[in-house]
Amino acid sequence: MLAWIVLVVSGVFEAVWATALGRSAGLTKLGPTTVFGVAVVISMAGLAWAMRTLPTGTAYAVWVGIGAGLTVAYELATGAQPFSVARVLLVAGIVGCVIGLKLVS
């Protein structure tokens, strides 16, 4: 169970580093670049730790799904990406697949 918690937190940090990377202007802005660097290390370390007990394919899919879903949700909420029902449904599909992977594991 602890591996799943660490994996979910790592997925959240994936969304943080992806968002910070997008705001860093090619790693030229100090603030977002620093956030990116710290978040990517935490995210990768957590993923690596969780993969000691979880299957690689499942762990990676869940990590990416959480990161991608949260990144898109954040961009939709802040207006950085245009809102559409189709986008929301597709992100909901990703979240549903992540939940499904947990249920079948």
Q: What is the pLDDT of residues 34-88, one digit of tens each?
A: 999 999 999 999 999 999 999 999 999 999 999 999 999 999 999 999 999 999 9
The whole-angstrom separation of Cα 68 and Cα 64 is 6
The predicted structure's pLDDT at residue 7: 97
Residue 35: count of CB within 10 angstroms of its CB: 18
pTM reported for the whole predicted model: 0.90
Instruction: Give the integer Cα–Cα distance in Å for 66 and 64.
Output: 6
Q: Work out the pLDDT band at 105, boundaries 50, 70, 90.
A: confident
Residue 55's CB is within 10 A of a number of other CB atoms, namely 11
**CB contact at 8 A, 46 and 6:** yes
Write down the pLDDT at residue 71.
96
Query: DSSP state, 25?
Result: T
